[in-house]
Structure 1
Amino acid sequence: MLAHNVEIRTARFEDLEQIIEINRRSLPENYSYDYFVYHLRDFGDLFLVASIKENDKEKIVGYVMNRIEIGLSNFGFSLTKKGHVISIAVLEEYRRLGIGFSLMKHTIERFKKYNISEVYLEVRVTNYPAINLYKKLNFEIVKVTPNYYSDGEDAYIMSLRLKEAKK
């Protein structure tokens, strides 16, 4: 269940400091400032944050960074327009409140507006909470990429067909 005071909205440039802090605190994969700027500039409508009000100030507690790509379908051999979930993170003290689920639901709805036929992401094979979240959203494991992460851990490629997308 989503905490009632959490708002999901499009990220803004003034959010970047908090977003980068969440990335650093939550994930072993840390991206450069320029990488975040690129996604916010070029795919801004697909870069979402979860925010709360704390002492009359907005606090970002989670984010999801996405982009659109053209590539081979994870469900066949055709070229397709795909949504790629690059990074999602929620501060540890705000996990298990439905924030990650809500960020992903909003992401899927945004991708549908762009006539995306599928959404995919990479996830560590040992990240069971994330894998379970994605399965709840009907993502399926389509392959394993050995040594995907810098520490040598494998990644699952998980993908979701968007049946509503037009061919």
Structure 2
Amino acid sequence: MEIVLEGPQEFTAKDGRRYVLREFKMADLNSVVSINRRVLPENYPEWFFVEHHMSFPKAFIVAEMDGELVGYMMNRVEYGWSYINKGKAAHKGHVVSIGVLPHARRLGIATNMMLRGMKAMKRFYDAEEVFLEVRVSNTPAISLYKKLGYEIAGRIPRYYSDGEDAYIMARTLADL
């Protein structure tokens, strides 16, 4: 199914249930903060989510299933040295945070949020490539990102508050 960038879009999950991807609204804030706190060790204050929504509203995606928010993807676009074309500056999409509740995992939700978020960063904010940080131990996430065309571009020692390293993973947006 082709990902649309305007308005809500309905999908059929791998288990047959239906879910909707759409842009974040301020009314979603408490649910998104709750998902962040429940599924990720790195938690952000409410103002951080609001700031990203205000700056990059088209690239802040949520997933809703059975009337419940089950996932989110928060992105921004930065200007700096490219991870793809070394030595050149680029507009880089940054996947700041993505989370899906445990009962909604392995249904295709994260994949479709990633696709919509990457396309939005390219179309609305002129990103040429996209990158993210991921724990070196997070095998399921690394596998998803590789499936979506990301490659390991570097490693940041002790990136996370518990001392774990992060991989920087990146990909071009030219083919989206």
- TM-score norm. by structure 2 comes to 0.88
Residue-by-residue CA offset, 1:18-74 (whole Å, 9 max, x unaligned): 000000000000000111111111111110000012xxxx21000000001001001
Does residue 81 of the first structure (1) align with residue 94 of the second (2)?
no
Does residue 142 of the first structure (1) align with residue 153 of the second (2)?
yes
3-state secondary structure, aligned to 2:120: helix
Equivalent positions of 1:13-162 (< 5 A) are 13-53=26-66, 58-75=67-84, 76-113=86-123, 114-162=125-173
Total equivalences in the alignment: 161
Q: Share of identical aligned residues, percent? A: 47
Q: Per-residue deviation at 1:2?
A: 4.9
Does residue 5 of the first structure (1) align with residue 15 of the second (2)?
no
CA distance in 2, matches of 1:155, 1:2: 32
Confirm or deny: 8 A CA contact 1:70 1:79 kept in the other structure.
Answer: yes
- TM-score norm. by structure 1 comes to 0.93
Paired residue type of 1:28: P
Q: Per-residue deviation at 1:141?
A: 0.3
Instruction: Compute the RMSD of aligned alpha carbons.
Output: 1.4
Q: List structure 1 segments (4+ residues) > 4 angstroms apart after TM superposition.
A: none
Structure 1, unaligned runs of 5 or more: none
